[in-house]
Amino acid sequence: MSNTMSTQKEIEKRRTFGIISHPDAGKTTLTEKLLLFGGAIQSAGAVKNNKIKKAATSDFMEIEKQRGISVATSVMAFNYLDKQINILDTPGHKDFAEDTYRTLTAVDSVIMVIDCANGVEAQTERLMEVCRMRDTPVIVFINKMDREGQDAFDLLDEIEEKLAIKVKPMSWPIGIGETFKGVYNMHRKNLNLFDANKTAIERDIIKIDSLENKDLNDIIGEEDANLLRDEVELIDGVYGEYDSEKYLSGKLAPIFFGSALNNFGVQELLESFLEISPTPKGRETDLRKIEPEENKFSGFVFKIHANIDPKHRDRIAFLRIVSGKFERNKFYKHIRLDKKLKFPNPTSFMASTKEVVDEAYPGDVIGLYDSGNFKIGDTLTEGENFRFKGIPSFSPELFKEIQNDNPMKTKQLEKGVAQLTDEGVAQLFTMQPGNRKVIGTVGELQFEVIQYRLEHEYGASCSFTPKNFFKACWMTCDDQSKIDDFIRRKVGNVGFDKDLNPVFLAPSTFLLAQAESDYPEIVFHKNSEFKLDD
Ligand code: G4P
């Protein structure tokens, strides 16, 4: 087999996706059940510990423990049937939303878990917006059908309305909560019966050639059988045929129903997912779109994880391979640093044990040991000069000025802040006069993480003063003198990011609107994506 043909085969085998949900909808439980199918874990409960406990906002040890575990579960790769599955974990805690957004740039599709009682929740909506930014295909799993919840038709309406996406039920529930009897899979024309006492992976799936078949009355009772017939007819009329092209372009969400906790509907979800979900996709760069089939290797870093052992300063950079074949010990070009690097110990994340890999393919995520070369968003190539787009910094929502509490450790503090912000823990803005440093985050928890890690990893101590800003807007203008003028007048509200781009730190919606009308030539960007547009 020629080299390109074997690479093509590897690409087609791979499915790289994320599972997303509002906290508590069942993401962790579903992830764990999927891993059980792949034989990647032996027992339930293994992924569970990855959750940041709701009450842990000031429990530093808890944060540390979580960081340790989350390295192991950042990427979970396993084989199922003839496919290689890469699940990228996304933190559910809202304070880590930015981490989740970045991880979503490295997936090709997502499974969104919705709690049948709570329906579409705040975090679900936000995550959907991020998926829409790059038309990521979404499959919805409506979970907890063993509990009382909303009417299935109402849920579909709510999803279409709040998430602004068309839906297509692929399976349909028979009853809910106490009366839940199972689901009818319209795609495969079979019945999957629910029995709360049965938690084995294999269940009885009954093939039903036609819903008119009288056997159905015996299996689920006449009343439910008739209701199912009516509802399925209605669904066929309202939602029509499944349209694969619409799903793949992010316009239509196939819907499944089940109960992750009871391992019900999970295998069905997994197998349908493998049937319909996209193979690794290409990515845009500032030069051209790079397709996975290209011969030459390329990839980007979407996440950096510090070593939890403070004695070892090395970090792991997570690299998503976009094109070609990655090989161990081969020199690749680090575009931002214009430097050749090779990696003797790249790791894969198969079956939750880290092991050194010799080669990896598009769709794969590998871990690269790093002593400080990488920043989030960095591109590696086989030599060509281009940068992948689409790892923007989002506008933070909380801002605090950092104070050095130990003048003897100024260097350590500066180094620590620089490295932690490279890792994407928070964003750094420098303000004048005096080079004051303001940290911007999306959640309160990050400040505790920073303070704790500066102390434990860098020996520096700091405190924070809250700043009254509500958004960071990157500014661009064809006429630099307008920006200079703005900076002069609003010096107390302008910071510079790490690449020295000017950023308006707006104190309120009102004052942002006022700035926009006073300076119509200046564009105020809510995220840093514009940096790659030119
Ligand atoms: P998350 O990662 O999305 O935050 O949710 P997670 O899987 O941790 O699930 C949240 C809670 O919902 C857990 O209960 C879990 O057991 C429960 N759950 C998940 N799927 C189902 C389901 O299909 N049916 C029912 N009835 N419950 C489900 P918990 O009590 O908060 O946690 P734990 O004590 O079980 O760990």
pLDDT tens readout for residues 479-529: 999 999 999 999 999 999 988 999 999 999 999 999 999 999 999 988 766
pLDDT at 445: 81
Pairing of strands 283-284, 289-290: antiparallel
- CB-based burial of residue 306 (10 Å sphere; 0-12 exposed, 13-18 middle, 19+ buried)? buried
Closest CA to 313 of 263, 370, 264, 365: 370
**Topology adopted by domain 398-533:** Alpha-Beta Plaits (3.30.70)
Question: How, if at all, do strands 14-21 and 83-88 pair?
Answer: parallel
Residue nearest to atom 19 of ligand 1 (CA): 26
**CA-based max dimension of the chain:** 83
Tell me how far the alpha carbon of residue 105 lies from the centroid of ligand 1, in angstroms: 27
Task: Tell me the CA distances in angstroms from 402 to 323, 439, 465, 497, 529, one per residue in order.
Answer: 41, 7, 7, 15, 26
From 20, 24, 70, the mutation candidate for ligand 1 (largest count of ligand atoms within 8 A of CB) is 24
Name the closest-CA residue to atom 34, ligand 1.
48
Mean of all residue pLDDT scores within the chain: 87
Specify the amino acid at residue 67: R
Tokens of 222: 């006449």
Separation CA 277–CA 254 (nearest Å): 10
Lowest-pLDDT range, 22-31, 54-63, 161-170?
A: 54-63
Cβ pair 231, 172 in contact under 8 A: yes
* Ligand 1 neighbour 266 (Cβ under 6 A): no
Query: How do strand 359-360 and strand 398-404 relate by DSSP bridges?
Result: unpaired
Place of tokens 């190539």: 381
Q: How far is the CA of 293 from the centre of ligand 1 (A)?
A: 40
- The percent of residues in the chain predicted with pLDDT above 90, rounded, is 60
Sort residue 481 into left (φ over 0), alpha (ψ -120 to 50) or beta: alpha
Cα–Cα distance, 81 to 332 (Å, whole number):
33
**b vs e for 309-345, b when ≥16 Cβ sit within 10 Å of the residue's Cβ?**
eeeeeebbbbbbbbbbbbbeeeebbbbeeeeeeebee
Distance from residue 53's CA to the centre of ligand 1 (Å): 13
CA 151 from chain centre, in angstroms, equals 29
Give pLDDT, residue 56.
Answer: 38
Rounded to 10 deg, the angle between the 410-422 and 445-458 helix axes is 130
Label residue 213 by pLDDT band (50, 70, 90): confident
Report how far ligand 1's centroid is from the alpha carbon of 353 (Å).
Answer: 25
CB contact set of 516 (below 8 Å; sequence gap of 6+): 522, 524
End-to-end Cα separation, the chain, in angstroms: 42
Is the CB–ligand 1 distance for residue 260 below 6 Å?
yes
Which three-class secondary structure state does DSSP give residue 385? coil
Say what the pLDDT of residue 42 is: 58
Residue 160: partners with Cβ closer than 8 Å, 6 or more residues away = 166, 167
CATH 3.90.226.10 fits 283-381, yes or no: no
Task: Tell me the per-residue pLDDT of 405-438, one tens digit each, with 9 for 90 and over.
Answer: 999 999 999 999 998 888 888 899 999 988 999 9
The closest of 42, 89, 17, 100 to 269, measured between CA atoms, is 17
Instruction: Determine the atom of ligand 1 nearest the C-alpha atom of 262.
Output: 23
* Tokens standing for residue 113: 């878990």
Phi and psi torsions of 134, nearest 5°: -125, 25
Tell whether ligand 1 has an atom less than 6 A from the beta carbon of residue 265.
no
Residue 26 Cβ < 6 Å to ligand 1: yes
What confidence score (pLDDT) does residue 354 get? 65
Q: Strand locations in 179-314, DSSP E?
A: 182-185, 190-193, 205-207, 252-257, 283-284, 289-290, 298-306
Q: How far apart are CA 140 and CA 239, in angstroms?
A: 15
**For position 396, what pLDDT does the model report?**
86
Q: Where are the beta strands (DSSP E) in 186-242?
A: 190-193, 205-207
Alpha carbon of 525 to ligand 1 centroid (Å): 38
Cβ(259) to ligand 1 under 6 A? Answer: yes
- Structural contact between residues 93 and 52, judged by C-beta atoms closer than 8 angstroms: yes
184 CA → ligand 1 middle, Å: 24
Domain limits of the chain?
Answer: 18-53+106-276, 283-381, 398-533
272 vs 351: which has the higher pLDDT? 272
- Least confidently predicted of 203-217, 288-302, 486-500: 203-217
pLDDT value at residue 328 = 96
What are the pLDDT digits (tens) for 34-83?
988 877 665 555 555 444 444 433 455 566 556 555 555 688 888 898 99
Question: Ligand 1 atom 24: the closest Cα is on which residue?
Answer: 144
Mutate to test the pocket of ligand 1, among 19, 28, 29, 144 (most ligand atoms within 8 A of CB): 29
pLDDT at 100: 83
Q: Is any ligand 1 atom within 6 A of the Cβ of residue 459?
A: no
CA of 26 to the centre of ligand 1 (A): 5
The candidate with the shortest Cα–Cα distance to 11, out of 403, 292, 308, is 292
Could you tell me the two tokens for 487?
A: 């900076």
* CA 256 – ligand 1 centroid, Å: 18
For residue 113, report the distance from its CA to the centre of ligand 1, in Å: 11
- pLDDT in the model for residue 499: 85
DSSP state of 526: S
Fold of 18-53+106-276: Rossmann fold (3.40.50)
Nearest CA to ligand 1 atom 33: 48
Q: Return the residue matching tokens 């805690």.
A: 93
**How far does residue 116's CA lie from ligand 1's centre (Å)?**
12
For residue 239, give the nearest of 150, 339, 152, 133 by alpha carbon: 152
Kindly report, residue by residue over 359-372, the tens digit of the pLDDT: 999 999 999 998 88
pLDDT bucket at 399, cuts 50 / 70 / 90: very high
Ligand 1 pocket check for 146: Cβ under 6 Å: yes
Q: Check for a shared fold between 18-53+106-276 and 283-381.
A: yes
Query: What is the CA(318)–ligand 1 centre distance, in A?
Result: 28
The whole-number pLDDT of residue 84 equals 94
> Does residue 50 have its Cβ closer than 6 Å to ligand 1?
no
* d(CA 381, ligand 1 centre) in Å: 42
What sign results for the dihedral spanned by CA atoms 193, 199, 33, 160? positive
The Å distance, Cα 195 to ligand 1 centre, comes to 18
More confident: 54 or 393: 393
Q: Is the CB of 93 under 6 A from ligand 1?
A: no
Distance 27 CA to ligand 1 centre (A): 8
3-class state of residue 44 by DSSP: coil
**Token code pair at residue 325:** 């074949």
Helix axes of 60-73 and 445-458: crossing angle, nearest 10 degrees: 90
Tokens of 443: 């959640």
Give, for ligand 1, the residue of 261, 266, 268 to mutate: max count of ligand atoms closer than 8 Å to Cβ: 261
Indicate the SS3 state at residue 387.
coil
Can you say whether residue 210 is alpha, beta or left, with left for phi > 0 and alpha for psi between -120 and 50 degrees? Answer: beta
31 lines ligand 1 (CB under 6 A): no
CA-nearest of 112, 110, 45, 54 to 73 is 45
* More confident position, 353 or 276: 276
| Cβ 381 under 6 angstroms from ligand 1 | no
User: DSSP alpha helices (H): ranges in 334-479?
Assistant: 410-422, 445-458
